[in-house]
Amino acid sequence: MSEFEVTRKDVDDISIVYLKGYLDAHTAPEFETALQQLVDEERVKIVVNLAKLAYISSAGLGVFMGFIEDIRQKDGDIKLAEPTEKVFRVFDLLGFPVLYEIVSKESEAVDKYKKG
């Protein structure tokens, strides 16, 4: 039931992380590991593509919070792209749009990094 997958694509200095399935307390560590890996590699311009994310729980949301300050201190950011309506509703209720850039196209997020 908690099928979850994290894949990653690097474009220049930007890394795109694709989430798929259910991100909850059980699968959050997997996402955490992926982000930690990026931070360790000093790749802090991150786009998280949410197109295939079916569900996100509070533990999953917590992962973003655990990293965002650290990444922003390193002049990086986490931008969220292509959330489904349902997932966006969760982000919206929590007030994420105030804190994170959420865009409807992955390329949009990438462009924003490129423009600096």
Q: What is each CA distance from 14 to 10, 18, 27, 64, in whole angstroms?
A: 6, 13, 24, 17
- To another protein, the closest distance from the beta carbon of 9 in angstroms equals 25
- To another protein, the closest distance from the beta carbon of 28 in angstroms equals 9
Cβ neighbours of 109 (radius 10 Å):
26
Q: What is each CA distance from 37 to 15, 32, 82, 114, in whole angstroms?
A: 11, 8, 23, 22
- To another protein, the closest distance from the beta carbon of 76 in angstroms equals 16
Structure tokens, 113: 């990094």
Nearest CA among 53, 113, 52 for reference residue 78: 113
Site string for another protein, 16-35 (x = CB under 8 A): --------xx----------
Per CB under 8 A, contacts with another protein among 44-103 are 55, 57-59, 61-63, 65-66, 69, 90, 93-96, 98-99
Q: Is 39 in the site for another protein (CB under 8 A)?
A: no
**Given the complex with another protein, which of 37 and 57 has the nearer CB atom?**
57
Residue type, 83: P
Residues of the shown chain interacting with another protein in the complex, contacts defined by CB under 8 A: 1, 24-25, 55, 57-59, 61-63, 65-66, 69, 90, 93-96, 98-99
